[in-house]
């Protein structure tokens, strides 16, 4: 082990014997009491020295025997320590790809804030490389979302859609202007490949929009049709439910951005649950949806660039949180934001007993993202532990959340 104080957290001394790691309320911790010699020794925890060399340095500084090991354990339990050589074989392979890792260093720094064990952050970042995600829909939201996931280190991002790129599909970070008239799905896949920090495998084109979803860690449904965003068709997700494939909804409808729900088949509310609940609250809902879906006129929806990019970014963040082993707040909820106020709000999507998905029957209580449960993705990596920031009771004596 080569211990390293997490560099993502800025350090400052509150007084002569109390040091604060981090500035923001979500992640700041204070550690104390810390004597002058130990404070100086903290500078040596930069990942360049193993434990044996650190013990030798401590003896030169006249620190007592065992002090280094106690300090390392204390910092590790507080979630303040990383291991510059940790993370397992996949992390070692990623270290060998210097250019790729340099591209992903900001993402790695962010992961250190939400992982507790030394080496976990790089291990989790490396695990993203073995995940496969499919994005269904390559408009202003879907194409940008695919590029973000690919750029964040997801191993394969497949994009499915039909038709050709239209001028109003063009967006910074998404479909480029020079691609107008080209096949939409092929263009979006090229965009995703170019965004990747490495060189992902090139996949052969397939003609079917909704191919077999087996093997995907997550499918993101980002339809260009605004009715499909507002009232997702449960039948479209039936193959995903039957195969047990997690899926996330995202899109823009009439100047309103939507992210969620994240559907964990058999556990959380799905599109069918959403439809049943809406029908319970408004008996005319099925009639309205039938009229909206029957409209055949060609129209350009209200999906401005900034709103589309905001939705794509939030959906990508929720997708990555899931792929990294967490349960984001879009499980059992739809996050919505509308112009011009731009206030995000969460609308619950509860498992409905009349929905055949079985989530209502299988869940003993209402499932929310706050229950702290983790999951395993198809990346075959260990479920994540709760963030050290969420487990105040497990912190060693002398560490506490900073009031900032």
Instruction: Specify whether 9 is located in the same domain as 64.
Output: yes
Instruction: Specify whether 45 is located in the same domain as 187.
Output: no
Instruction: Specify whether 117 is located in the same domain as 215.
Output: no
Instruction: Specify whether 201 is located in the same domain as 302.
Output: yes
Q: Which residues contact 360 (CB under 8 A, 6 or more apart)?
A: 273, 350, 351, 352, 353
pLDDT tens string 18-71:
999 999 999 999 998 999 999 999 999 999 999 999 999 999 999 999 999 999
The pLDDT value given to residue 215: 86
Tokens of 218: 């997550």
Residue 386 lies in a domain: no
Say whether pLDDT at 380 is over 50.
Answer: no
Instruction: Specify whether 48 is located in the same domain as 177.
Output: no
Least confident of 152-166, 228-242, 376-390: 376-390
Q: What's the mean pLDDT in 342-359?
A: 94
Say whether pLDDT at 390 is over 50.
Answer: no
The pLDDT value given to residue 403: 52
CA-CA distance, 340 to 359, in Å (whole number)? 36
Instruction: Specify whether 99 is located in the same domain as 147.
Output: no
pLDDT tens string 69-112:
999 999 999 999 999 999 999 999 999 999 999 999 999 999 99
Instruction: Specify whether 139 is located in the same domain as 19.
Output: no
Say whether pLDDT at 384 is over 50.
Answer: no
Q: What share of the chain is helix, strand, coil (3-state, %, to 5)?
A: 40, 15, 45
pTM of the model: 0.86
Instruction: Specify whether 168 is located in the same domain as 226.
Output: yes
Instruction: Specify whether 119 is located in the same domain as 173.
Output: no
Burial tier of 167 (Cβ tally within 10 Å: 0-12, 13-18, 19+) = exposed
- pLDDT above 90 as % of the chain: 79
The pLDDT value given to residue 52: 95
| Tally: H helices and E strands in the chain | 14, 13
Residue 63 lies in a domain: yes
The pLDDT value given to residue 387: 36
Instruction: Specify whether 162 is located in the same domain as 82.
Output: no
Task: Give the CATH number, domain containing residue 86.
Answer: 3.90.930.60
Q: What's the mean pLDDT in 221-225?
A: 96
Q: Which residues contact 185 (CB under 8 A, 6 or more apart)?
A: 138, 159, 160, 161, 162, 205
Instruction: Specify whether 164 is located in the same domain as 19.
Output: no
Q: What pairs with residue 132 in β-bridges?
A: 156
Higher per-residue pLDDT: 268 or 395:
268
pLDDT tens string 181-217:
999 999 999 999 999 998 765 554 544 444 555 689 9
Contact 368, 331 (CB under 8 A): yes
Domain of residue 345 covers: 129-371
């Amino acid at each position: 082990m080569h211990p390293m104080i997490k560099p993502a957290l800025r350090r400052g001394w509150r007084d002569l014997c109390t040091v604060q790691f981090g500035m923001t309320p979500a992640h700041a911790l204070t550690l104390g009491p810390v004597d002058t010699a130990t404070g100086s020794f903290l500078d040596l925890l930069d990942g360049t020295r193993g434990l044996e060399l650190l013990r030798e340095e401590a003896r030169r500084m006249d620190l007592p025997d065992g002090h280094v090991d106690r300090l390392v354990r204390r910092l590790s339990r507080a979630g303040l320590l990383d291991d510059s050589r940790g993370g397992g074989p996949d992390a070692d392979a990623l270290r060998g790809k210097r250019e790729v890792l340099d591209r992903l260093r900001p993402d790695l720094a962010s992961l250190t804030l939400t992982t507790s064990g030394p080496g976990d952050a790089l291990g989790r970042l490396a695990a993203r490389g073995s995940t496969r995600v499919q994005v269904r829909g390559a408009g202003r939201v879907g194409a940008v979302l695919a590029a973000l996931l690919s750029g964040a280190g997801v191993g394969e991002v497949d994009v499915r859609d039909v038709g050709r790129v239209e001028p109003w599909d063009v967006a910074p970070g998404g479909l480029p202007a020079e691609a107008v008239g080209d096949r939409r799905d092929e263009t979006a896949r090229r965009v995703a490949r170019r965004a990747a920090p490495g060189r992902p495998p090139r996949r052969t084109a397939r003609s079917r929009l909704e191919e077999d979803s087996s093997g995907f860690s997550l499918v993101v449904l980002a339809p260009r049709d605004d009715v499909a965003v507002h009232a997702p068709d449960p039948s479209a997700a039936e193959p995903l439910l039957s195969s047990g494939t997690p899926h996330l909804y995202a899109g823009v409808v009439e100047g309103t951005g939507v992210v969620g729900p994240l559907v964990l088949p058999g556990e959380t509310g799905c599109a069918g649950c959403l439809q049943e609940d809406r029908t319970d609250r408004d008996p005319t809902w099925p009639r309205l949806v039938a009229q909206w879906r029957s409209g055949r006129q060609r129209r350009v929806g209200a999906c401005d660039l900034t709103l589309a990019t905001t939705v794509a970014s939030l959906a990508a963040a929720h997708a990555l949180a899931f792929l990294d082993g967490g349960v984001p707040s879009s499980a059992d909820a739809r996050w919505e934001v509308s112009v011009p106020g731009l206030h995000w709000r969460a609308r619950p999507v509860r498992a409905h007993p009349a929905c055949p998905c079985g989530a209502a029957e299988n869940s003993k209580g209402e499932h929310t993202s706050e229950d702290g449960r983790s999951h395993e993705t198809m990346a075959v990596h260990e479920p994540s532990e709760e963030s050290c920031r969420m487990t105040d009771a497990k912190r060693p004596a002398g560490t506490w959340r900073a009031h900032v």
